[in-house]
């Protein structure tokens, strides 16, 4: 199994997991990943505001 095959298999598995349907027949691995990313909601990533980070774990830069 080559690199392109592995990418396709992983992308197809991700597609099936996210959308609960088979991936588009004519899409290769990179195209599937592109479609997946386009269908995902556009969320901003804020490292400080996450449910997995306690406020006591946040260290801000100290003033010199």
Q: Rounded distance, CA 34 to CA 18, Å?
A: 14
Q: Of 14 and 62, which is predicted with more confidence?
A: 14
Entry pTM: 0.64
pLDDT bucket at 47, cuts 50 / 70 / 90:
low
Whole-number average pLDDT of the chain: 85
Rounded Cα gap, residues 29 and 53, in angstroms: 34
**Domain range annotation of the chain:** 1-41
What confidence score (pLDDT) does residue 61 get?
A: 76
Average pLDDT estimate for 41-59: 70
Query: Tens digits of per-residue pLDDT, 12-27?
Result: 999 999 999 999 989 9
């Amino acid at each position: 199994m080559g690199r392109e095959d592995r990418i396709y298999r992983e992308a197809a598995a991700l597609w099936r997991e996210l959308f609960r349907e088979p991936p588009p027949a004519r899409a290769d691995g990179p195209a599937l990943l592109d479609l997946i990313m386009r269908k995902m909601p556009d969320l901003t990533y804020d490292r400080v505001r996450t449910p997995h980070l306690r406020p006591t774990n946040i260290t801000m830069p100290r003033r010199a």
